[in-house]
C-alpha cells in the first residue's frame, strides 16, 4: 500500500481557504483533469499519462478533504472497496470489464 503525505493536501486546502462551498468547483476540476487524462492516453507517452493520472488523484483527494472526510475514513473505504473488487470473477479477456457480483 502506498503511504501518501496527506498533510500536503490538508495544507493546500487550508492555504486556499477551501470549504464545502467549493464542492461544485472541485467537481469541475475533477472532470477537467479526467478529460485531460483521456486526451493524453490517446497520443502521449506513459509518463504523460502518469502525470495526468496523478492530477486526477490530487483533485479527488482535495474534493474528499473539502467534504470533511478524515483520511482514516478514506483509507477504510478504499480497503472495503478493494475487498469487494477482489471477490469479483475473473474477467473474460483483455479489454473487458470485470463483471459486477
Q: What is the pTM of this model?
A: 0.85
SS (H, E, C) the chain: CCCCCHHHHHHHHHHCCCCHHHHHHHHHHHHHHHHHHHHHHHHCCHHHHHHHHHHHHHHHHHHHHHHCCCHHHHHHHHHHHHHHHHHCCCCCCCCCCCCCC
Extract the C-alpha cell encoding 71.
483520511
Residuewise pLDDT in 10s, the chain (101 residues) = 567 889 999 999 999 999 999 999 999 999 999 999 999 988 878 889 999 999 999 999 999 999 999 999 999 999 999 999 899 888 777 777 777 76
CA dist., res. 38 & res. 90, Å (int):
25
Amino acid at each position: 500500500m502506498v503511504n501518501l503525505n496527506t498533510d500536503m493536501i490538508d495544507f493546500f486546502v487550508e492555504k486556499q481557504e477551501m470549504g464545502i462551498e467549493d464542492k461544485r468547483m472541485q467537481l469541475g476540476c475533477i472532470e477537467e483533469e479526467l478529460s485531460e487524462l483521456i486526451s493524453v492516453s490517446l497520443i502521449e507517452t506513459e509518463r504523460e499519462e502518469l502525470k495526468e493520472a496523478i492530477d486526477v488523484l490530487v483533485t479527488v483527494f482535495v474534493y474528499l478533504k473539502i467534504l470533511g472526510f478524515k483520511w482514516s475514513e478514506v483509507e477504510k473505504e478504499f480497503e472495503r472497496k478493494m475487498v469487494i473488487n477482489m471477490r469479483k470473477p475473473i474477467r473474460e479477456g483483455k479489454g473487458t470489464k470485470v463483471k459486477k457480483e
